[in-house]
Amino acid sequence: MARNVVQPIIRKKKKRGGDDGHHGGAWKIAYADFVTAMMAFFLLMWLINVTSPEQKTGIAEYFNPITVSQRTAGSGGVLDGTSVSAPGPLVSPSSRITAIDPRLTFAPPNDNTSKSQATETTPDANQPNQGKPTEQDVQKAMKEREQKQFEAVADKLRKSIENLPELKGLLDNLIIDETPEGLRIQLVDRDERPMFALGSADPYDYTRQLLGLVTQAIADLPNKVSIRGHTDSLAYAPGKNYDNWNLSSERALASRRAMMEAGLAEARIEGVVGRADRDPLFPDHPEDPRNRRISIILLHEDAAGGTAGPAGATASAVEDQTTPPSSPDSGAAPPQAH
């Protein structure tokens, strides 16, 4: 009889080996070393690019064992206490850097010639106004600026008159020139167009308008203003208590009032003067009606505070409350045209 044979159970155990090398972490250490080396390399390239030749010389001398610096902190360091780059981020490779003063020679501290070189190349502190404008330069610049302002005033005034049809014909009554005192604007009488009534200090309406345009043209400037009245040489009848001095002074005062009504600040008025016939526009023709005029002088800034009248002139300055001319006595000769 057959016997049941029990088959043995055989178990096979597979022995697993270790993981492959690329699944470990050793490569990360090598890669980190490589990245560190590359970072150091690019940092070195950047430093070489942004440092000046003087700084490179200083760095080379620092690593020279013969002339190594004995000072290691603050201004005694390699870069002498300065930064190789400007404060903040470096925008581009061409950005300027903050370096040591190029007038000073960068030399090792132990070199005896360093102090003498620095002394020779450092600006002399005893030299006054080194690199600063002199007083003459300032005065010249101020005069050039004032000259441009005067030219702008003259141009503005002429254009203002041309833009008003009712005043366009008064361009012939306007004379603008420059004197040693400043810019002079003159309102001149003509036979067909006087500025004031005959023998009177009352300005016509168009004269007030013209004085208003002058005020507007000079309103933005700080210069002081001198107002002067002039007459021709025609005299009043003998025995009168009123003459050309009174008339010229009152016309100057009337012009001042008109300009103040137009907006001229009272503080800008340097003087109001009556010159009578002592300063004719046409000396060879003292009776010419064009000698009757009002002169408005925009004084130079350095001339403000001086005398309002020309040198040597005897001005007949009168107060604003001057009594107007009285009517001629009956039978007396009327005043001449002024």
Domain boundaries, the chain: 27-120, 136-303
> Is residue 93 pLDDT above 50, yes or no?
no
Whole-number Å distance between alpha carbons of 189 and 181: 23
Chain segment 3-37, per-residue pLDDT in tens: 666 777 877 776 665 555 556 678 899 999 999 99
Helix axis angle for 135-162 and 205-218, nearest 10°, is: 140
**Tens digit of pLDDT for each residue in 280-318?**
999 999 999 999 999 999 998 876 544 334 333 333 344
Alpha helices in the chain (DSSP H): 26-50, 53-62, 113-121, 135-162, 205-218, 244-261
What is the three-state SS of 116-185?
HHHHHHCCCCCCCCCCCCCHHHHHHHHHHHHHHHHHHHHHHHHHHHHCCCCCHHHHHHEEEEEECCEEEE
pLDDT of residue 330: 34
Higher pLDDT, 169 or 12: 169
Mean pLDDT of 190-205: 90
Q: Is the pLDDT of residue 243 over 70?
A: yes
Instruction: Name the band, by pLDDT with cuts 50, 70 and 90, for residue 119.
Output: very low
Decide which of 3.40.50.12780, 3.30.1330.60, 3.40.50.150, 3.40.50.1820 is the CATH code for 136-303. 3.30.1330.60
Most confident residue range from 52-56, 82-86, 205-209:
205-209
